Every structure is written in structure tokens, then in C-alpha cells.
Amino acid sequence: MSRYYLNYLDELESEAIYVLREVWAQFQNPVILFSGGKDSIVLTHLAKKAFWPCRIPFSLLHVDTGHNFPETLQFRDDLIDTLELRLIVGSVQESIDKGRVVEEKGKSATRNVLQITTLLDAIELHKVDCAIGGGRRDEEKARAKERFFSHRDDFGQWDPKNQRPELWNLFNGKHFEGEHFRVFPISNWTEMDVWNYIKREEISIPLLYLAHQREVVWRNDSWIPNSEFLTLGPDEEVETKKIRFRTLGDITITGGMESNADTLEKIVQEVAGMKQTERGNRTDDKRSEAAMEDRKKQGYF
């Protein structure tokens, strides 16, 4: 009898595959929100498994802040070549040039919030009715309340107090013209689960996640990578450190950590002993206690 049970990683995988197949069955034009980060890479891997031997029936949508790690873009392009997928790029730079958004000013300016407009514009332009994201409920307190199938009104907004009840695994993706859904197949995964799964499935990831030598600047309690977009403050200096990134996003706000973990085994060990949350190195979440909730309501990832 005990032969017939799944271990937790198999159960999480099975749940995610079920959700992805529901998306395919319930929506006309779903896309995978692809950032080049590990969660969206795992999502793409799961989609490959869900529809084998068919090709993944979703396009990838990348919201490009213009502030990229070159490695991430290379990884993205290689992946869509291998999987023969269509890539849609929403460009924040274009949104700025068209006057849809105004660039923040000052040393701590980021394009983080600007992405919301670019994302929603891309969703409208390409008539996307479901954007599949790699969001996880363990990441942040506002995300802990997120549904698998999360409804967005025709302004792309999330109403956390009026979410549809979600019972058993009966997902209701019904929507009116112009509205869309965000769907989060790996809602129940933790950072540790993601790493264990990447290791088990031997999924390739950008080498930025492994410890490597890099020029960095100490800012907001983490190592911000040196790049053409970085303006140094008077007290700041560029150093070379052995670091790795726990999350990958906009290069100007993604902090690295000092580490010697240069293999997946070592990363899994390191994550298991980690004392800080992974978003602890993300300047975007530090702005206020409800920073994530506020951005999510407006239509953020």
C-alpha cells in the first residue's frame, strides 16, 4: 500500500503540470512570463513535461527593463531556439520613449515599477488572456494570499479582498473580454523545492546563479553588480568578489551574495542553511512594508 504515494517533489510537479494543462484547456491565448530567473525556467521545464511530445503551446513574454544581465538574454535566446518557442518582448525603454511612463530620477531610481505599464500594454496588445507566472507563496506576505488562478480586471488590477474562492483543484478561469488571469503553477513551492527540483531534473540555469568572480558595489546591504547603468555614490567603490545571485532581475537592483557555491549540490546545501529570505537582496521590496501588495494590486508580476 505504501508503494502508492508520491514524494513531495513529485506531488508538487504533478500539481504544476495539472495547472498548466488546465490553463491550456481554459484559455485562448496564454503566455509564460519569462524573466530568465530560475522560477520561470522551472516553469518552462514543467510546461515541456506537461505537453510532451507536443511543443509547449505557449509563447514566452519577457518584460525587458533594458537593464539586463547579458547572460540572461543569451540564456533566453538559446532556450527559445532549443524549444522552438515564440518570444514576445515588452520593452520598458519603448514605454519610456513613447511617454507611457516617466523614468524615476536619483541614485536609487529603478525601472521596477515601470514594468507594470509595459507588462499590461503587452498583455493588451497581444490579447493575452492568461499570463503564467513563477510567483511562489513563500516569497512574500502578499503572495501568501494569492490564488493559483488569479483574476485581473480590465485594468489589469488585483483585488486581494475579493478573490474567487478556490476549492479542491477545481480552477475557475472564466473571464470577460479584456480581462485576464495570472496563473501560478508553482505557488506551493519554496525556494528550497525549486533548487532541489533543478538539481533532480538537471535543468540548465544561467551561470549567474553559481558563484563567480564579479565586479560589485556594496549598496543596501548587498553586492550590486557593476554595469553601465550604475551610478556610483561618493562613498562607493567597485570591488571584485566571488559572488552568486539568489534571484535574477533588473541588474541595477539585484544584489548578489558572497559565496563559494559553484555547483548545484553546494547551492542546495547553502540554501538549506540560509538565514535571509531570498528577496532580502531585492531593493524593490524594501521600499515599504506593503511594497509588494501595492505593486501587485496595480498589475505587477
Partner 1 sequence: MEISSNQLLRFSTAGSVDDGKSTLIGRLLYDSKSIFEDQLAAIAKTSKQKGHEGIDLALFTDGLRDEREQGITIDVAYRYFTTPKRKFIIADTPGHIQYTRNMVTGASTANAAIILIDARHGVIEQTKRHAFIASLLHIPHVIVCINKMDLVDFKEEAYDRILRQFEEFSSKLLVTDIRFIPISALLGANVVNHSDSMPWYRGAPLLHTLENLHISSDINKVDARFPVQTVLRPQSEDYLDYRGYAGRVASGVFRKGDEITALPSGFTSKIKRIDLSDTEIEEAYAPMSVTLLLEDDIDIGRGDMIVRSKNQPNITQDVEVMLCWLNDKPARPRAKYAIRHTTNEQKAIIKQVIYKIDINTLSRKTDDFEIGMNDICKVMIRTTKPLMIDSYRDNRASGSIILIDENTNETVAAGMVL
Residues lying near partner 1 in the complex (CB under 8 A): 1-2, 4-15, 17-18, 21-22, 24-25, 48-55, 137-138, 141-142, 144-145, 160-161, 163-170, 172, 174-176, 187-188, 190, 192-193, 196, 269, 272, 274-277, 280, 289-290, 293
| Residue closer to partner 1 (CB basis): 1 or 102 | 1
CA nearest to 283, candidates 233, 231, 243, 223: 223
Nearest distance, CB of residue 242 and partner 1, angstroms: 22
By CB neighbour count within 10 A (0-12 exposed, 13-18 middle, 19+ buried), where does 113 fall?
middle
CA nearest to 35, candidates 257, 254, 280: 254
CB 67 within 8 Å of CB 252: yes
> Under DSSP, is residue 232 helix (H, G, I), strand (E, B) or coil?
coil
Nearest distance, CB of residue 296 and partner 1, angstroms: 10
| Residue closer to partner 1 (CB basis): 46 or 230 | 46
CB 33 within 8 Å of CB 63: yes
Nearest distance, CB of residue 31 and partner 1, angstroms: 18
Nearest distance, CB of residue 16 and partner 1, angstroms: 8
| Residue closer to partner 1 (CB basis): 4 or 237 | 4
Distance CA 259, CA 85 (A): 34
Nearest distance, CB of residue 298 and partner 1, angstroms: 14
| Residue closer to partner 1 (CB basis): 101 or 291 | 291
Distance CA 24, CA 44 (A): 14
Which cell goes with 274?
540560509
| Residue closer to partner 1 (CB basis): 24 or 218 | 24
